Amino acid sequence: MNSNHLKIGIAGLGTVGVGTFKLLQANSDILNQRCGRRLEVTSVSALRREKNRGIDLDGVTWFKDGVDLATKADVDIVVEVIGGADGSARKTVESALRLGRHVVTANKALLANSGVELAVMAEESGVSLSYEAAVAGGVPIIKALRESLAGNSIKRITGILNGTCNYILSTMRTTGQDFEDVLERAQALGYAEADPSFDVGGVDTAHKLAILASVAFGTAIDINAVHVEGISNISTLDIKYADEFGYRIKLLGLAERLSGESGEGIVQRVYPCLIRPEHPLATVENVFNAVVAEGDFVGKSIYEGRGAGAGPTASAIVSDIVDIALGRHAPVFGVPVRNLEVPGEVPVDQHFGEYYVRLLVVDRPGVFADIASAFRDESVSMESVLQRGRNENANVNVVIITHETHESNVVRALNRLQANESLVEPPHMMRIEKTECS
């Protein structure tokens, strides 16, 4: 690597790749001053060279394939922004690491599925595998966990990690529109993909949470250990009733090291849940992301910002490039790969907390007694109950907030009610997260 000149190859010229190119050009003077050397994009790769991307590629070497860029280009750093858990993205990163080239990536799916194997390759080659942009866009949470909070034992991570879902839930609450209508609006604004299943199904959040858990707890990434639920079943009724009880609904990623009655191991869960307005994440709205990290000495620290888009993601990518230019190096997941623990999985039915339950039932005498009996028989105590007037089909919604109990108890009670002919549709259940995130 030339001490006065850092050569960069960008594999993928979509929104993020172009954004990174523009940032490196626009802020070249300040970056050169901060790094003490010149940062220059010397190679790029994308399928269609003729496409107008609004950038000047004169003097830049073009490759059609990312693997060719990684193996043939004269570069010190390969920036992978192709995307996808496998295929060209993985081959590009692997090729670069084998040849001893630093890699910067925004690819959370690749890291969540193959991060440990890639970290081994980076260590063997003595190069950096950096990925600040893979989690929460412009929010510097990876560096915070791996560096700023390195002196702490992290107790818990709680985050809003998907801007699409946060926008949908925020807009449903403020406008009263249904999920499908708001999703269509999000797609029109460019906040949601044509196929939004990874976002609204919670998979995107799960990828990011798996990475955060690894860095926070020094464990090997295990995407299969993440319990995942999405938001497509959340209705305007749920938003309304949650508000009446004094809560807001957010899709959260939660990771915590447990020991004791609630289990032994690392909890990794993604699901919509109810939080109080005073919760640190309750006021994070629209497309913003935020993470609350809890350390034993630092206490709570909160990180918030734009979680996606060309600018914020490019900002995170370039921050990694600057680290490499300055010779700052840290193990990929905070500790050497050989020291990564294998996380013990804690089943979600061991969760202990309060619950929101909504039941649509036939409005007739004895139905509430059946509900109360099912809850009583499974040791679930009801804290609050709300019942609204019947609809045109003589059905009513019964909404219950439970006292703290094990999730397995609530599930058994709801399974009992499923057999009751008075139930019009399957029960709706969500967890309630405490204000203190503990």
How confident is the model at residue 114, as a pLDDT? Answer: 96
If one compares 80 and 345, the residue with the highest pLDDT of the two is: 80
**Could you tell me if 153 and 103 lie in one domain?**
no
In whole angstroms, give the CA distance from residue 223 to residue 113: 6
Task: Please indicate, yes or no, if residue 315 is contained in any of the structural domains.
Answer: no
How confident is the model at residue 2, as a pLDDT? Answer: 61
Percent of the chain with pLDDT over 70: 97
How confident is the model at residue 263, as a pLDDT? Answer: 60
In whole angstroms, give the CA distance from residue 102 to residue 44: 15
**Could you tell me if 218 and 103 lie in one domain?**
no
Q: Which of 306, 322, 342 is the last residue of a domain?
A: 306
In whole angstroms, give the CA distance from residue 353 to residue 432: 7
In whole angstroms, give the CA distance from residue 359 to residue 385: 11
- The pLDDT confidence band at residue 172, using thresholds 50, 70 and 90, is very high
How confident is the model at residue 249, as a pLDDT? Answer: 98
How confident is the model at residue 438, as a pLDDT? Answer: 39
In whole angstroms, give the CA distance from residue 267 to residue 257: 6
In whole angstroms, give the CA distance from residue 78 to residue 297: 37
Q: Which residues contact 317 (CB under 8 A, 6 or more apart)?
A: 16, 20, 79, 81, 104, 106, 132, 133
**Could you tell me if 152 and 130 lie in one domain?**
no
Task: Output the domain CATH number for residue 412.
Answer: 3.30.70.260
Task: Output the domain CATH number for residue 31.
Answer: 3.40.50.720
Q: Which residues contact 90 (CB under 8 A, 6 or more apart)?
A: 84, 110, 114
**Could you tell me if 170 and 108 lie in one domain?**
no
How confident is the model at residue 346, as a pLDDT? Answer: 83
How confident is the model at residue 437, as a pLDDT? Answer: 41
Instruction: Note the pTM of the prediction, 2 decimals.
Output: 0.93
In whole angstroms, give the CA distance from residue 82 to residue 72: 17
Strand pairing class (77-80; 102-105):
parallel
**Could you tell me if 93 and 23 lie in one domain?**
yes
| pLDDT tens per residue, range 357-393 | 999 999 888 898 999 999 999 999 999 999 876 776 7
State mean pLDDT over 187-208: 93
How confident is the model at residue 122, as a pLDDT? Answer: 97
Task: Please indicate, yes or no, if residue 312 is contained in any of the structural domains.
Answer: no
**Could you tell me if 177 and 115 lie in one domain?**
no
In whole angstroms, give the CA distance from residue 78 to residue 44: 9
Geometric angle at alpha carbon 126, from 123 and 131, rounded to 5°: 65
Mean pLDDT of the chain: 93
In whole angstroms, give the CA distance from residue 112 to residue 104: 15
Task: Please indicate, yes or no, if residue 335 is contained in any of the structural domains.
Answer: no
State mean pLDDT over 126-154: 95
**Could you tell me if 151 and 283 lie in one domain?**
yes
Q: Which residues contact 327 (CB under 8 A, 6 or more apart)?
A: none
Pair 127, 103: CB distance under 8 Å: yes
| pLDDT tens per residue, range 85-137 | 989 999 999 999 999 999 999 999 999 999 999 999 999 999 999 999 999 98
State mean pLDDT over 19-40: 95
**Could you tell me if 125 and 200 lie in one domain?**
no
**Could you tell me if 111 and 173 lie in one domain?**
no
In whole angstroms, give the CA distance from residue 16 to residue 138: 12
The single residue of 22, 208, 250, 434 carrying the catalytic annotation is 208
Of the listed ranges 231-245, 267-281, 423-437, the least confidently predicted one is: 423-437
Q: Which of 134, 161, 185 is the last residue of a domain?
A: 134
Pair 80, 17: CB distance under 8 Å: no
The answer to whether residue 155 is catalytic is no
Task: Please indicate, yes or no, if residue 330 is contained in any of the structural domains.
Answer: no
Q: Which residues contact 272 (CB under 8 A, 6 or more apart)?
A: 169, 229, 230, 231, 234, 249, 250, 251, 252, 430
| Tokens found for residue 49 | 């060279």
Task: Output the domain CATH number for residue 170.
Answer: 3.30.360.10
**Could you tell me if 212 and 153 lie in one domain?**
yes
Task: Please indicate, yes or no, if residue 379 is contained in any of the structural domains.
Answer: yes
Query: For residue 219, is pLDDT > 80?
Result: yes
Q: Give how many domains the chain has, as a whole number.
A: 3
How confident is the model at residue 260, as a pLDDT? Answer: 60
287: containing domain: 141-306
